[in-house]
Amino acid sequence: MRIGVDVNGRRKDADVEPRTLLSDFLRHDLGLTGTHVGCEHGVCGACTVQVDGEPVRSCLMFAVQVDGRSVRTVEALAGDDDDLHPLQQAFHEHHALQCGFCTPGFLMSLEPFVRDRPDASDEEIREALAGNACRCTGYEGIVQAVRGAAREGR
Amino acid sequence: MRLRNELEVGAPLERTWKTLLDVPRVARALPGATIDPQAEGGAWRGTMKVKLGPVTTEYAGTVRIQDVDEDDRVASYRVEGREARGQGSAAATITTRLGTVGGATRVVVETDMQVTGRQAQLGRGLMEEVAGAILGDFAGRLERELRGDAAPDGGGGEALDVSRAVRGPVLERAGLVLAGLIAGLALGRWVWRR
Amino acid sequence: MKPAPFHYEAPRTLDAVLALLGEDAKVLAGGQSLVPIMNFRLARPATLVDVNRVDELAHLRKRDGVLHIGALTRHATLERSGVVARGWPLLRQAVRHVGHPQIRSRGTVGGSCAHGDPTAELPVALTALDARFHLRSRAGERVVDAAQFFVSHLTTALHDDELLVEVEVPPLPAGARTAFVEYARTHGDWALAGAAVVVAPGHAAIVLLGAAPTPLRAADAEAALAAGAGAAEAARRAGALVEDEWRAALTSSLVRRALEEAGA
C-alpha cells in the first residue's frame, strides 16, 4: 500500500505491506535506526516515537496507520548543527545512559513530559518513566536528568 | 502556563455554542490559522503562523475537541504542534465556558499551555499579551463569521501580526529580547565554528 | 516475530466499518492489546478494520447529566478530561492505572471493553458505574448493560458483525464518593486483583478485578454495606467470592482500602 508520512519534518512516500510495523518501517525502509526494538509487544518502551506529538509504541502500530500523519523519532532531537537537545544534554550530564539501547525510547517519552510537567515531583517523574525499561542505570540518573532538564527549561 | 481571557461575542449563546463546536469555522476566525477541513478520528490537522516583529513562527499540528459539557456549555480543545522550522513545540488545553450577557455571549477562555523552543524564552508576560491579542482579534472575527459577513482574509496562511496589537513598552521589550536572542544565536554559531 | 499477512482497510465512516465486519475481520482501534497478540501470531485475522479515522466514534460529551464516551476515546483523553474529573472521578482514578503513558496515548475505551480482559481496569470501573454499551451492526443498534456485555475471559456479547460504538454512563448518585485500587507486581503490569467502589447514601457498588472471567459485582458485600456494615465486613464478604486463598486475602484487603478511601 502506498503511504505518505511526515517523518521528522520531511515527507516520505513509500510502498509497504499492511503488516509492516512502524518500528520496522522507520528502521529498515527509512534507515532511521535510532528507534530500537526490544520486546515487540509493548512493554519495554525502547521503540517509543511520537505520532502527532504523542509518545506511542511503534512496535504496536502498523506503518499504514501513519499515512497522512506526522512521526517524530529520536533523530529529530539534536539541532541542525548537532547541538544536543536540552534533554539529551541533561542525560549526558547526569549519566542517564550506559549502553544507550533504551535511551531513544526514554527521550521520546520524556520530551513531552518535561514540556508539560516541568514542576513534576520525583514520584511523578518515576510514574512517567514507568513505560520504559532500563537494564543498566537503575533509573536514578534518568530521574536526575529529567529534573535537570526541567530546571533548565525555566 | 495558565492564561485566562474573557471575550464578548455579539451573537446569541446557542449560535455561538454551535459555532465553537465547529472546529473548521473556529479556525476560519483565527487569524494566522489554516486547517484541513476533513477531520480524521476527531482530529483536524492545521497550521498557525504568528509574526512578532521580524520573526515569524509557524506551527504545524493537530487540534481535537477533548470533551463537551452540553449541559453547562463548556467545551475543551486539545492542540498540539511543532515548529515547522525549529525545535520548539507547543501544547495547550483550551477550555471555553459560555454564558449570556444581554443579547450577547460571554466566553471565558482558560488556556493551559506549554511551549518549548525560542518562543518560550519570550517570557510569560509577553505570551499573555500575545494570547490576549490573538483572542481579541478572534472575538471580532467570530462575530463576523456568525453574522455571515465575509471576514477579511485572516486564515489562509497569512501570519497573525501580533506586533500590531501589542503596543508600546511591551513591543520594545519584545524587540529587545528578540534582538538579544538573535545576537546570542549568531554569536553562539560563530564561536562554535572556530 | 512479525504478524502474519492481512488485508487492511481504514474506513472513514461508521457505515463503511459495519459493511466490513464479519467472521474473519478484527477491529483495530488502539492496538495496545491486539497488536501484541498479532505480533506473537496468536491471532491471525484475515482482515483488519482500522477504525481510527472514524469521526463518529471520537466524542466525549455530557448531555442531560449522562456521559457519552465514544468508543475511540483514548485513555489519555479520559485522564485529561475536566468533564470526567468532575462528574465521574472513578474513571479518572481507574484509567491512571492502565498500562503506561504510551499505552494510554493510543489505547481506547472501546477497545479495552471489547477486548474483555477481566484484569482490565476500565471494564471494572464502568461496571461499578452501571454503564450501558451501545452495539451497532448493519441491522441496527442494541444496548446492553455490563453484566450482559462482559461474558467471559476475552469474550463479550459482541457478534462478529457488531461494533461497540459508545459507552453510556449515568450520573453518579448524589453525595457519591469513589475509589479504585489494584495490586500488580510491577507498576503498569497486569493487575492481580483490584476493586472499584462507589459509596453513596443508600447506594453501594463494589466490583472486583481479576476475581472471575469478567468484572465481578460483590452483591453480598454491597448489601451488607447498604445495611450499615463497615468496610471490614464488606471487604470480608467480597473476598469470600474468590477461590484462591491468597487472592481472596489480597482482594479483601484491597476492597477494604478502597472502601475506606471512599469514606465507608
| CATH number of residue A13's parent domain | 3.10.20.30
Nearest Cβ partner for A60 among C8, C31, C52: C31
Rounded-to-integer distance, Cα B4 and Cα B95, Å = 10
Range of the domain at A121: 86-152
Same domain, A91 and A72: no
The answer to pTM > 0.80 is yes
**Does C6 contact A at CB distance below 8 Å?**
yes
Distances (CA, A) of C135 to A17, A57, C95, C159: 31, 29, 22, 9
In a domain? residue A140: yes
Q: What was the ipTM of the complex prediction?
A: 0.93
Same domain, A54 and A34: yes
Number of domains in chain A: 2
Mean pLDDT of C50-71: 97
Which has the closest alpha carbon to C29: C51, C12, C48?
A: C51
C226 φ/ψ angles, rounded to the nearest 5 degrees: -65, -30
Measure C223 CA to nearest chain A CA, in Å: 36
Instruction: State the pLDDT at residue B129.
Output: 80
Tens of pLDDT along B71-120? 999 999 999 999 988 788 999 999 999 999 998 999 999 999 888 877 66
In a domain? residue A18: yes
Instruction: State the pLDDT at residue B41.
Output: 92
Percent of chain C exceeding pLDDT 90 equals: 93
**Does C32 contact A at CB distance below 8 Å?**
yes
In a domain? residue A81: no
Mean pLDDT of A19-37: 98
Distances (CA, A) of B85 to A48, B49, B81: 23, 12, 12
How many whole angstroms from its chain centre is CA C115?
9
Measure A41 CA to nearest chain C CA, in Å: 5
**C105, C185, C190, best to mutate vs chain A, most A CBs in 10 Å:** C105
Rounded-to-integer distance, Cα B88 and Cα B70, Å = 35
Same domain, A25 and A70: yes
Higher pLDDT, B1 or A34: A34
* DSSP secondary structure letters along A114-142: HHH-TT--HHHHHHHHTT---SSS-SHHH
Q: Which residue is associated with the grid cell 459555532?
A: B19
pLDDT over 80 (residue A71): yes
pLDDT over 60 (residue C109): yes
Instruction: State the pLDDT at residue C1.
Output: 79
Nearest Cβ partner for C39 among A40, A55, A67: A40
* B contacts of C84 (beta carbons < 8 Å): 67
**Does A55 contact C at CB distance below 8 Å?**
yes
DSSP A44: S
Mean pLDDT of C10-35: 95
In a domain? residue A44: yes
**Does B116 contact A at CB distance below 8 Å?**
yes
Would you call A65 and C52 a contact, using CB atoms and an 8 Å cutoff?
Answer: yes
B128 φ/ψ angles, rounded to the nearest 5 degrees: -65, -40
Instruction: State the pLDDT at residue B177.
Output: 53
Measure C71 CA to nearest chain B CA, in Å: 11
* DSSP secondary structure letters along B165-188: HS-HHHHHHHHHHHHHHHHHHHHH
Mean pLDDT of C70-91: 97
Same domain, A71 and A46: yes
pLDDT over 70 (residue A154): no
Instruction: State the pLDDT at residue B155.
Output: 47
Measure A140 CA to nearest chain C CA, in Å: 17
pLDDT over 70 (residue B194): no
Would you call C8 and A18 a contact, using CB atoms and an 8 Å cutoff?
Answer: yes
Would you call B82 and A53 a contact, using CB atoms and an 8 Å cutoff?
Answer: yes
Tens of pLDDT along A76-119? 998 777 789 999 999 999 999 999 999 999 999 999 999 999 99
Instruction: State the pLDDT at residue B166.
Output: 53
Instruction: State the pLDDT at residue B192.
Output: 39
Instruction: State the pLDDT at residue C128.
Output: 98
C233 φ/ψ angles, rounded to the nearest 5 degrees: -65, -45
Distances (CA, A) of C219 to B122, C90, C116, C258: 58, 19, 21, 16
Would you call A56 and C106 a contact, using CB atoms and an 8 Å cutoff?
Answer: yes
pLDDT over 70 (residue A129): yes
**Does A110 contact C at CB distance below 8 Å?**
no
Q: Where are the domains of chain B?
A: 2-166
Tens of pLDDT along C175-234? 999 999 999 988 778 899 999 999 999 899 999 999 999 999 999 999 999 899 999 999
Among residues A48, A76, A104, which one ends one of the domains? Answer: A76
Tens of pLDDT along B120-140? 666 777 777 877 888 888 888
Q: Three cell numbers at C72?
A: 475511540
B136 φ/ψ angles, rounded to the nearest 5 degrees: -60, -45
Contact status, residue A84 vs residue A102, Cβ threshold 8 Å: no
Instruction: State the pLDDT at residue B165.
Output: 53
Q: Which of A59-63, B125-129, C125-129, C175-179 has the lowest average pLDDT?
A: B125-129
Measure A45 CA to nearest chain C CA, in Å: 8
Buried b (16+ CB within 10 A) or exposed e, C103-120: bbbbbbbbbbbbbbbbbb
Instruction: State the pLDDT at residue B57.
Output: 86
Instruction: State the pLDDT at residue B179.
Output: 54
Exposure of B104 by Cβ count < 10 A (0-12 exposed, 13-18 middle, 19+ buried)? middle
Which domains are delineated in chain C? 7-50 (3.30.43.10), 64-169 (3.30.465.10), 177-261 (3.30.390.50)
pLDDT over 90 (residue A39): yes
Same domain, A59 and A104: no
Rounded-to-integer distance, Cα B178 and Cα B162, Å = 14
A94 φ/ψ angles, rounded to the nearest 5 degrees: -100, 15
Q: Three cell numbers at C104?
A: 494510554
pLDDT band at B189 (very low <50, low <70, confident <90, very high): very low
**Does B100 contact A at CB distance below 8 Å?**
no
Topology of domain B2-166, CATH: Alpha-D-Glucose-1,6-Bisphosphate; Chain A, domain 4 (3.30.530)
Same domain, A61 and A96: no
Q: Which of A81-90, C82-91, C134-143 has the lowest average pLDDT?
A: A81-90
- Angle at which helices B168-193 and B123-147 pack, to 10 degrees? 120
The number of helices, as runs of H, and strands, as runs of E, in chain B is 5, 8
Among residues A50, A76, A102, which one ends one of the domains? Answer: A76
**Mean pLDDT estimate for chain B:** 80
pLDDT band at B154 (very low <50, low <70, confident <90, very high): very low
Alpha helical stretches, state H, A37-153: 86-93, 103-116, 122-129, 140-152
**Does C49 contact B at CB distance below 8 Å?**
no
Q: Which of C60-64, C158-162, C189-193 has the lowest average pLDDT?
A: C189-193
- Angle at which helices A122-129 and A103-116 pack, to 10 degrees? 140
Q: Which residue is associated with the grid cell 455530557?
A: C62
Q: Which of B145-159, C110-124, C170-184 has the lowest average pLDDT?
A: B145-159
First vs last Cα of chain A: how many Å apart?
45
Same domain, A62 and A98: no
Which segments of B116-182 are extended strands (E)? 160-161
Same domain, A59 and A101: no
Percent of chain A exceeding pLDDT 90 equals: 92
Which CATH number do you get for residue A92? 1.10.150.120
In a domain? residue A119: yes
Rounded-to-integer distance, Cα B105 and Cα B112, Å = 22
User: Which are the contacts of B93, defined by CB distance < 8 A and separation ≥ 6?
Assistant: B66, B76, B77, B78, B79, B111, B112, B113, C80
In a domain? residue A29: yes
Among residues A31, A57, A76, which one ends one of the domains? Answer: A76
